[in-house]
Structures are given as C-alpha cells and as structure tokens.
Structure 1
Amino acid sequence: MFHVMKNRISLMSVFGAIVFMSLQVLGTLYIPNITSDIVNNGITRGDTHYIIVAGIRMLVVSLFVVIASFMNVLLASQASQKLGQNLRNDIYRKVLYMSNDEFDQIGTSSLITRTTNDVVQIQNVTLMMLRMMIMAPIMMIGASFMAYQKNQQLTKIFVFVLPILIIVIGITMYFAVPLFKAMQKKIDRLNLVFREGLTGVRVIRAFRQDDWEQERFDVANKDYTHNAQKVFSIMAVMYPLMTLIMSGTNISITWFGAKYIANQSMEVGNLIAFMTYAMQILMSCMMLSMIFVFVPRAQASATRINEVLKMKSDIKEDTQTDVLHNEPADLQFEQVDFGYQGAQECAIKAVDFHVKAGQTLGIIGGTGSGKTTLVSLIARMYDAQTGLIKLDNHDIRSLSLREINDQVSLAPQKAVLFKGTVRDNLKYGNSKANDEQLWHALEIAQAADFIKEEQGLDTLVEQGGDNFSGGQKQRLAIARALVKEASIYVFDDSFSALDFKTDSLLRQALHNDSRMQSKVMVIVGQRISTIADADVIIVLDHGKMVGRGTHQELKQNNRTYQEIIKSQIKGETVNG
C-alpha cells in the first residue's frame, strides 16, 4: 500500500498532520493530570482560587487540543483526498493508453471498481492512519506512563486486561479480515452484472429476459449482502465485548482504588486520573483493532490498483518521434498473422497487401472473418505476432503510439458520441478545426442536412448520442473521423447503418474530395456495393485472405467473392 502512496501523497500535509496529532495527544494526556490536581489540591482543601486557576489552565489546554485536532483532521483529509485524486488520475491515464489485450485481462467493470471503490478504501485507511494509527500507540504508551506515575500497583490490572483484549481482537480479525478482502471481488461481480443489465437493456426487453436478469442480479446482490452481513455482524459482536472489558476494567480500578484510598496510599484525584488513563489505553487498543481490520481490505485494494498501474503492455514503443511528418500516405501488410490471447487459432493469417496514397482498400468477408481485427492492427491496438506492418513506409513497431494515432483516423464499427454539442464531438478529431472545416466534413458524411434542421453545430448531443438515430450517429462519427488530419482513414463497417443511397452519396463525396485523393482509405464493408469501387479489395474467410484484386477480377475469379455477390444480388445492384 505504501508503494501506491509513494509520490502521490502530500508529504507536507502528512508531516503537518503528524505534528498536530502529537500536540493533540500531549494535551489530551495532560488534562487528566490537571483534573487530579484540582481534586487533590483544590476540592479536598477547599481552595477555590486554586480550582479557578487550574480550571482556566484546563480550558486553555482543551482549546489547544481542539485546535490541534482540527488541524490534524484538516491536513489528514487533504492528504488522503489528494492521494485519491492522484490515484484516479494515474489509473485513468494508464487506462487511456492500455492495449486491447490489457482491457481484456481486467475487464471494464473491474476497472470501474478499482478507480472508485478501491481508491476510496485507500483514502479511508490513509485518513485513519494519520488520525488513529499513529495516535493510538503514542496515546497508549503515554497513558501507560502517566498511569504508572499515579499508582504503580493499579497498573497490574492491565497485565490481565490487555491479553484478554488482544485475544478478542485477534479472534475478530481472524474471521473478519478474509471477509473484508472478499468484498472487493464481490463488488466487481455486482458491477459487472449491473453494467451488463444497463448496457443491454434493449436486448433484455426484446427477448423478455427481465426475470432471468433480475434473478442474476439478485444472486450477485445477495452474495455481496451476505458477505457484508457476516463481516459487520462479527464487528458488531466486538463492540459489546470491548464495552464489557472496559466496564470490567473500571470496576476493578474502582474496587482496588477505593482500598488504596482507604489505606491512604492513594489520593482521590489520582484515582480519577488513573481511570481516565485506563480508558485512553483501552480506547487506543480499540482504535488499533479497527485499523488492523480495515488495513487488509485497503491492502487488497492497493494490490488491485497496483495490478493496473504496473501492467506492461505487449506493445513496445520505439524512441523515434516525428518520423512520419511529410511522408506520403502508404499502408502495407506483409504476411501478417495475429491471434488473441488464449485462442487456439489465429484470427487472421498470412494477410498481404499494399495500398498507396490516393488508393482505397476494401475489406469484405463474413461475420468473424477477421475484418475488425485487421483494422485494429492498423491502429496498433494489437501487435502482429508474425509478419510486418508498414505505415507510411515505416515499420509500425518503430513508431510511437502518438505518431500512429496522429496519422490514422478511425471511424469505429459502433458509433460513440459524447455529451456536449455537435461542434464538441467533431472537434474531438481536430481541436483546431474551424467551422468551415466542420461543415465540410458534415457535407461529405451526408450529415449536414439534419444538423442544419436543428441548431447547427451547437446542436446538443445527449449521453451516447441518444437523441440521434443509429444512422445519424454513424454519420456524425464518420464526420468526426474526416475532420482529423491524417494520412490513413479507416472506416470499420461504418456504412452498415446507412441506406444504399446515403452509402453511395457518401462514397462519391469521399472520392471527389481533393484532400482525400492524397490519402489512403480503408473501407470495411459487408455489402458488395460499399467496397466495389475500391482500388484493391481483399476477401477474408475465417481469418485467411482468400482473394485480392479489383471488383471485376474477384467477380470473375474468386469463388468466395462470387458467393457474397450471389447472396446479395437480390437486395442491391452491384456495379459492373
């Protein structure tokens, strides 16, 4: 856990919290001594002046303790919250640069839990450490010393009480700690089921699986609830036992203290002070027990966060920078193989093609043939296992991810829009783009008409683009990709949500645009009409490249391509 805190927690706040906490402890330990003096030297002797002076002294010390306590809480809170802020920033930054393989290893729901609940656990324990973990042992040692000064004989009571207290705490921790650790994984599971229910609500309703999903959520919810009930029931048992031990200690101190007073070997004020110090000792033990119960849970959270922060991507970056500037657009695959982790077979095998500036590459194949996988390799979301991928005549592995991201503009298969305005979403591709460039991209993407009918570029976009239809969202996503200045434009089945007419108009606008004529375009499609005009078409079947050529060549010589044409010929007119 300390590794997680390193370089992320404010050392000045920590130092200040410890200083004020120490001052608070000193003041707290001094107050019972003043009480003892008031009873011994003031009340028993009837010295009102001494009582008033000692009372004022007690008031000043109490005020001092309040100020020290306030500053301790303030600085400890600042330190813990700053730690949480830095941890969330680091996790989010790490997630943004994760490869798809790393995402697959952890999972989205678990990442959300680690960024929220796990960070909160570490924040809480950090606050407890700066408030109680350091204070409790100091208080215990100080109170023991002060109690010993008041009466050496009565301190023997602690020889019997403390072992009992330690046994109770030990048994509690033995049963509670494993349950606290298990809670984080159960929260992961609960978040996973809940998230799937939210994102798949339309599918759930369409297939009338409401009851099944509710039952699935109930199982995860009850599992977490039962675990929480067990652990907090155990903790609930500890408090009455602690109270019993503390009450028994008070009775013992009063019993033996009364005898010492009767024998005139102890003053009444010293007994009162001793009882206060005894409570401080036992309270310190309780504070330590609470910390030791919650620390393992925070440690588990820290381990989970470290797992994210220490993940080493399989995608290694070279130190070269800015090598792609002023290079002509060019994309080349040389006998590329790639398989996902744990898969028995490669997702794509021996893919080989070369596309130059001004050319369009069409990719077609059945579902699961590897089209999106191939696109992911272009954007270097994964690294090829064998073969060579060249981007603008450079080995893609010799380039930094930032350079690749700058030169590859991707319109994904699933249109993702962010809450804001149309202008905000389009500028996501190029923050420096002016309104004229934005409208030009909308014109090409066939999205200008319905945006003009609304409020233009200031049209509001709801979360996920829910105020637009599927086709409208897809066209806005295409426009966003076009706004970006890149050398390679990839459209990953982005035209599938468009009707035939809009599809044709969009491709024609792309072909006629002067800027796009010097770029490489990669169009992944399921319809023959979408990729028929491409300069090079590759046909994928179960990950293998079974054809490469123009539409006319493949139409005449490639059986897989011919089968795709036959399956679609009734639904559309194929060029040529």
Structure 2
Amino acid sequence: MKPQTMRDVFKRHRWRLLLATLLLFTTMLAGVGLLGLSGGFLTAAALAGALGMGSTFNFFSPSAGIRALTMARIVSRYFEKLVGHDATLRIARDLRVWFFQRALPLAPARLGSSRTGELLARLITDIGEVDGLMVRAISPLLALAGIALATVLAAGLIYWPAAVLLLLLALLVGIGVPVFAVRRGDAVEAKRAQQRASLRTLAFEGLEGVADLTALDARDDWTLRVDAAAQQLARSDQRRRRRLIGGNVLHSSIAGLGLLAMLWLALSAFQAGQVQAAFAATLVFLTVALLEVAAGSGIAWQALQSARVAGKRLRQIVDQPPAVQEPAQPHTVPECAVAVTFEQVVFAWPGETRRLLDGVDLQLVPGDRIAIRGDSGCGKTTLSALLLRLWDPQQGSVRFGGVDLREFAQDQWYRQIAWLPQGAPVFAGSIAENLRLGDPQASDAALWDVLAQVRLGDWAQQQGGLEAWVGENGATMSAGQARRLALARALLRNAPIMVLDEPTEGLDVDTAHALLVDLAAAVGQRSLLMITHDRLPEGVVQREYRLQQGRLDLQ
C-alpha cells in the first residue's frame, strides 16, 4: 500500500475547504458590494435632495440591496468561521495521525538521531503551521483573487479605464507589496523554525534533566542558554514583524495614491458626462473596498511561507527510508514453536567500519533460556535489535523456523516477541494501564499474578490497588520498582520469545537474584534471550555466552 502523503490529508477534507473558501469569498464580496452600493446610494440621495428630486428618487431598491448584503455578510461570515475552524481542527487531527503513522516505523533506528525536543517542535509547532495552510493562506488569497476579478468586472461595466486602474492596484497591493514584504522569506522562515525548535528542545531537556542540572550546579548556565535562544527567536520575530509593517506602509502609500487616482478618474469621467454621479461614487468606494480587502494579503503570504517551511520540516522526518523494508509478499509466521537461528551474522552501524557482530552463530530453540554477557558497547543490545528486526544484518541472516525474518511482515513478527529494553518507560497512568500495554485483555487477576511474580504485589496494595496513579515517567516509584513494573508488562505479553535487556538494572543484589529465580519459573515454556552484565543464579538460564570482538563464545 502506497504511504499516505500530506496532500492526501488535505484532499480528504477538500469539500469542507472548498466550502470555507466559497463562504470567505461570499463574505468579502458582500462587504465590497455593500460599500460600493451604499457609497453610490448615499451620493445619489444627497444629489436628489440638493436638486429637489427627492419625490422621484428610488430609495427602496438600493436600501433593500444594502440590507440583503448586510445580512448575507453576517451569515456567510458566521458559517465561514464555523466551517473553516471545523476543517482546520480535523486537518490538525489527521496530520498528527499521519505524522505518527509515518514516523513510528522509523523508530528507533532513524528517529534515534533526532532529539526529542526537536521531534516535539515538529509535532506541535510545525503541524500547527501546516494545519491552517488553507484557511489562513490559500483560501484568503483565492478569495482575494476572486474579489479582485469581480471588482474589476463591475468597474468595467461602469467605466473601462477605471477597471484598468483597479486591475493595476489589485496586482500591486495583492501580489507586488506582499512579495516585496516577504522576499527571501523561505530562508528566513526556515531559520526562524529552527530557532523555535532549538528553544523548545532546550526547554524540554532542561525540564527533563532538572535534577541532574541541580546536582551539577548547572541550572543557571542552562537557564542562560534558554534565555539566549529565546532572545534569538524574539529578534527573528521582530524582524518578521518589521517586514510586515514595511509591507503595510507600502500598501498604505500605494492605496492612497491609487485612491487619489481613482477619485480623479471618476470626477473627470463625471465632468465629461461619461459616468453618472452615483456611479462615479461607486467606483471610488469599490476602490476603497478592494484596498481594504487586500490589506490582509501580506499576512496570508507570510502564513503560506511558514506553512511551506513547516511542511518541508515534517517531510524531512517522515520521508526518511526505514531501516528495514516490508516484504512485497510476506511469508506466514509459523504458529507452532520453532527455533530462532543466527547464521553467520555480520553487522556494523551505518557509517562505521567496526563490526559489532562478525560471523555470529546462535540457536534459540523453543523453551531455551540463554544469557548473553559482555562488556558495554560490545554489541549485546545490537544482537537483540536484529532479533527484533529494528535493523537487518549486512551479511548472514536471522531465521525463525528456517525462514529469514526479512520475509515476515513486521507487525506479525513483533507479535512473537515480548521485549524489555534497557530504558523501558513507565507511562503516566495507573498501574493497570501500564500493565495492559502488554495484554489489553488481561483480567485483574492476571495483573495481580504478574505483579506477584516481580515482587510488586505488596507495593501495589499499599498504593491503593491497580488503579493507583504512577505519575509521569513513574515519578511515584523508585528506579527498581519502575524496572520491575516494566518487566511485569513484558511477562504479561503472550509471546513465544522473550528478550530481556538488563532486566535487573536498578535492583539490589538480593532482590535481583530472587527476581531472576522467579523469572525462570514465570517464563515457562517460552524461549528466553537475556542480555545482562550480572552473574546469574544457578538454574535461571541453561546456557551463557560471552560476546567479545564480534564473536559469541559459550561459557
């Protein structure tokens, strides 16, 4: 299936966007028509009174038209806001879903090189710029183009030189002035977006690491870095506002000259008997209305540039090629328990020449419990990453039941594995919500059982039961308790293969050994691949290997 693009998200809401644009055009048209008609009507009424022709002057038709245009403007304005905001909120929702759907398959391999704050900036700020692309930029510019055309046509029906002047003014204030005001805008907006992302990243990382910064007496230095980033962004915002103000000044200057030119043209045509007084006044008021409508074009052009830059930043993330590819014709994953085999596996991180794994052979048969030990950075976690198929080996293969993992659909393969990574998170929520990430259908009894297996049953009772709140990142728990809760979540997952990366990290020796003995019983008939630095109690695993210089040696 072809991946969804950002354009597809907007196409899904095209009818709402089209309706919002038409309603905006109607609102603008009613406003321009109202000003032109009322101006002509007041001029004709004044002349009729001055010339003593009040008894024959038609008050009713123009006044009815003014009331109709007023009501149309009110109604269309209301529904334009209603439909426009509805479409924007729907697009904002779908853009976030689109971003997650495209970005999550890149984790952790591709997204690992991006800072969390940077990703948050793209997810929040950049999507916020893109979701209003139509309502804040394209729709106003399209409506303005339609109004300019309608105004020029109306002026052409009255006096064609006036139509030429209006066309020139429309081009100058609708395109020329905004382009002058936002010149080199893409580069400026890209720099501003990066500054905004840097500020958000610094603020986020400062909040996340406030305990360490306090312990290192580095909070003041970090605060200065945040302030410097904020001031840099503020200066960029000021320059952006100055460009917009400069465009407004230029717009006002052209508008003043244009209005004087139209006034002279209308009076000249009236004096020459080519245009009636009421129509001459209508031309002047049409000019005023067009210039007023075009005053917002600079903001629309600026919003268009911001959205383009933000869209490019989002695509820089989601358009990265995934570390692993889905097979065109996925092979069915065996339902029965079969062996996992590493055959002459070679792997080096992209851009590096050192092989972390250099011809590794390993077999994990159903019910096997094996441990991989070795120094930090020797490739133990890389071995589990290949089993999880976060990466594919450069040479050799990892097979399940004799079939290369590259032949399986990724989501089908992931269902075969329960994984406890080194940095397994505890999510903001209750104990039960965290556990049910492993098995959404698990009963309360199953949750209590697995808590007992990891020696958290008494703690959960003291906290108030399964619905007790664990806080952001497990703020109410010790590091060891958070580790055991994550282990319970992995145990709860009904998968034939368990991969545990440092399962006892953060636990004291006695608790860790007791937990490992219980773990051996809890695993049951499942296969277990454990990555650890620690010495293991007797009976926890059946075989231990040491990984060094890219090779596995049986201990």
> How far apart, in 2, do the equivalents of 1:478 and 1:521 lie?
13
2:511 to 502, 505, 510: 502
Give the equivalent residue in structure 2 for 1:356. 365
Is 2:109 the partner of 1:101? yes
8 A Cα contact 2:117 2:205, kept in partner: no
8 A Cα contact 1:176 1:235, kept in partner: no
> How far apart, in 1, do the equivalents of 2:76 and 2:350 lie?
56
1:544 to 527, 530, 550: 550
Report deviation, 1:175. Answer: 4.4
- Give the letter aligned to residue 64 of structure 2: I
8 A Cα contact 2:417 2:496, kept in partner: yes
Is 2:326 the partner of 1:320? no
- Give the letter aligned to residue 454 of structure 2: A
8 A Cα contact 1:336 1:388, kept in partner: yes
8 A Cα contact 2:34 2:66, kept in partner: yes
Give the equivalent residue in structure 2 for 1:270. 279
2:525 to 518, 530, 534: 518
Larger mean Cα displacement after TM superposition, 529-538 or 5-14: 529-538
8 A Cα contact 2:426 2:474, kept in partner: yes
- Give the letter aligned to residue 50 of structure 1: N
1:127 to 125, 135, 139: 135
Where does structure 1 lack aligned partners over 5 or more consecutive residues?
550-576
Is 2:255 the partner of 1:246? yes
1:461 to 460, 470, 479: 470
2:46 to 38, 43, 46: 43
Once the two structures are superposed, residues 170-193 of structure 1 have per-residue CA deviations (whole angstroms, 9 ceiling, x without a partner) of 332224443123222222222222
8 A Cα contact 2:372 2:532, kept in partner: yes
Once the two structures are superposed, residues 292-324 of structure 1 have per-residue CA deviations (whole angstroms, 9 ceiling, x without a partner) of 333222112222223334333131223436523
2:145 to 133, 137, 147: 137
Is 2:7 the partner of 1:5? yes
> How far apart, in 2, do the equivalents of 1:498 and 1:392 lie?
36
Structure-2 change in CA distance of 1:84 and 1:164 (3 Å):
closer
> How far apart, in 2, do the equivalents of 1:266 and 1:354 lie?
96
Give the equivalent residue in structure 2 for 1:527. 534
Structure-2 change in CA distance of 1:18 and 1:152 (3 Å):
same
Is 2:122 the partner of 1:114? yes
Structure-2 change in CA distance of 1:23 and 1:228 (3 Å):
closer
Task: Write the mapping of 1:437-452 to structure 2, written as runs, cut at 5 A.
Answer: 437-452=446-461
Report deviation, 1:402. Answer: 1.5
SS of the aligned residue for 2:547 comes to strand
Where does structure 2 lack aligned partners over 5 or more consecutive residues?
none
Give the equivalent residue in structure 2 for 1:554. none
8 A Cα contact 2:133 2:304, kept in partner: yes
Q: TM-score, normalised on structure 2?
A: 0.90
> How far apart, in 2, do the equivalents of 1:138 and 1:250 lie?
20
User: Aligned-pair RMSD on alpha carbons?
Assistant: 2.7
8 A Cα contact 1:489 1:519, kept in partner: yes
> How far apart, in 1, do the equivalents of 2:124 and 2:459 lie?
39
8 A Cα contact 1:377 1:384, kept in partner: yes
SS of the aligned residue for 1:409 comes to strand
1:402 to 411, 419, 428: 411
> How far apart, in 1, do the equivalents of 2:451 and 2:170 lie?
76
Structure-2 change in CA distance of 1:169 and 1:460 (3 Å):
closer
Give the equivalent residue in structure 2 for 1:345. 354
Report deviation, 1:259. Answer: 5.1
Is 2:56 the partner of 1:59? no
Q: TM-score, normalised on structure 1?
A: 0.87
Give the equivalent residue in structure 2 for 1:34. 37
Give the equivalent residue in structure 2 for 1:376. 385
SS of the aligned residue for 1:110 comes to helix
8 A Cα contact 1:409 1:489, kept in partner: yes
SS of the aligned residue for 1:429 comes to coil
SS of the aligned residue for 2:128 comes to helix
1:298 to 296, 307, 324: 307
Structure-2 change in CA distance of 1:477 and 1:45 (3 Å):
same
8 A Cα contact 1:34 1:54, kept in partner: yes
- Give the letter aligned to residue 554 of structure 2: R
> How far apart, in 2, do the equivalents of 1:497 and 1:530 lie?
17
> How far apart, in 2, do the equivalents of 1:39 and 1:334 lie?
91
Over the matched positions of the two proteins, sequence identity in percent amounts to 18
Report deviation, 1:287. Answer: 3.8
Once the two structures are superposed, residues 310-367 of structure 1 have per-residue CA deviations (whole angstroms, 9 ceiling, x without a partner) of 3331312234365231224x33222222222222322332222212222211111122
SS of the aligned residue for 2:476 comes to coil
Once the two structures are superposed, residues 128-166 of structure 1 have per-residue CA deviations (whole angstroms, 9 ceiling, x without a partner) of 246412111111111122223334445565587567656
8 A Cα contact 2:417 2:499, kept in partner: yes
8 A Cα contact 2:170 2:290, kept in partner: no
SS of the aligned residue for 2:487 comes to helix
Larger mean Cα displacement after TM superposition, 162-171 or 196-205: 162-171
8 A Cα contact 1:140 1:280, kept in partner: no
- Give the letter aligned to residue 88 of structure 2: S
SS of the aligned residue for 2:110 comes to helix
- Give the letter aligned to residue 435 of structure 1: D
> How far apart, in 2, do the equivalents of 1:546 and 1:93 lie?
37
SS of the aligned residue for 1:446 comes to coil
Task: Write the mapping of 1:192-207 to structure 2, written as runs, cut at 5 A.
Answer: 192-207=201-216
> How far apart, in 1, do the equivalents of 2:320 and 2:526 lie?
35
> How far apart, in 2, do the equivalents of 1:163 and 1:130 lie?
17
- Give the letter aligned to residue 404 of structure 2: D
> How far apart, in 2, do the equivalents of 1:202 and 1:393 lie?
49
2:18 to 12, 15, 19: 15
1:89 to 97, 119, 125: 97
Is 2:229 the partner of 1:220? yes
8 A Cα contact 1:99 1:382, kept in partner: no
> How far apart, in 1, do the equivalents of 2:363 and 2:86 lie?
57
- Give the letter aligned to residue 354 of structure 1: Q
- Give the letter aligned to residue 4 of structure 1: M
Larger mean Cα displacement after TM superposition, 489-498 or 190-199: 190-199
